[in-house]
Structure 1
């Protein structure tokens, strides 16, 4: 049995990753989900967090935000709003986004605005976390 599967990660702007992987870990709504070759077929949602891809026994980590994942025994397709490798992230911009979102949390907001602001904080914190992992 092959020890890899084909993984494709796509955003509206680009094909972020396309190639063989040994494992992928995605942030699910109820926690992280790990996918290995020959996984049972499923479709699930992806939240905000770290995307981890194991390629040639090496892990690569990226920041991912919101999407869907289709899993088949020999391939996985991830459609996400955004995915960034650590080296693509502008740390100063992410810090500024985190501060803006935290300031908005301190203000009176509707329930929907509050949830959107919480998501903005999570996106910024994830982007900053993955940039620290490469240093």
Structure 2
């Protein structure tokens, strides 16, 4: 029995993933959601976190941030602001982004700037975590 469905992940800059998968687990705005073939149709907002893709009983993980996921009976489309495989993540750049975000959080700015800095910090931490997990750093 074929337990695969089609997954397409698009960012503003590229087609990040386009292929058949067995299962995904993605970070949404309210927690993680797993999707297998035949999942109930839904549309959900994505958060800052990870996208785990299972294909041929092997899991791959990527960092992903913000966007939407549309689940249909036999396919899933994810539109994300950004998505990166571990080998694409520049850890030094992520560390610099983390330090900039932490500095902006220390400054007493507006609520809007505070929320932007918190999001930037979370993105940097997720990117660093994914990269370190798979680069053996």
TM-score interval (norm. to shorter): over 0.9
Alpha-carbon distance in 1 for matches of 2:33, 2:116: 23
- Provide the C-alpha distance between the structure 1 equivalents of 2:56 and 2:110, rounded to a whole number of angstroms: 47
Per the alignment, residue 79 of structure 1 pairs with: 79
| CA deviation string 1:10-41 (max 9, x = no partner) | 00111000001111111111110100100011
Trace 1:1-135 onto structure 2 (pairs within 5 A): 1-134=1-134, 135=136
1:55 deviates by 1.1
Q: Where has structure 1 moved over 4 Å in runs of 4 or more?
A: none
Q: Displacement, 1:2?
A: 2.4
SS of equivalent residue, structure 1 residue 133: helix
Q: Which runs of 5+ in 2 are unaligned?
A: none
Unaligned runs of 5+ in 1: none
> Equivalents in 2 of 1:113, 1:27: separation in Å?
23
What's the CA shift string for 1:61-87, capped at 9, x where partnerless? Answer: 000000000001100000000000000
CA contact (8 A) 1:53 1:60 kept: yes
Determine the C-alpha separation between the residues in 1 that align with 2:7 and 2:26.
12
How far the C-alpha of 1:109 sits from its partner, in A, is 1.1
Normalised to the residue count of structure 2, the TM-score between the two structures is 0.96
| SS of equivalent residue, structure 1 residue 109 | coil
> What CA RMSD, in Å, does the superposition of the two structures yield over aligned residues?
0.7
Contact 1:2 1:37 in 2 (8 A): no
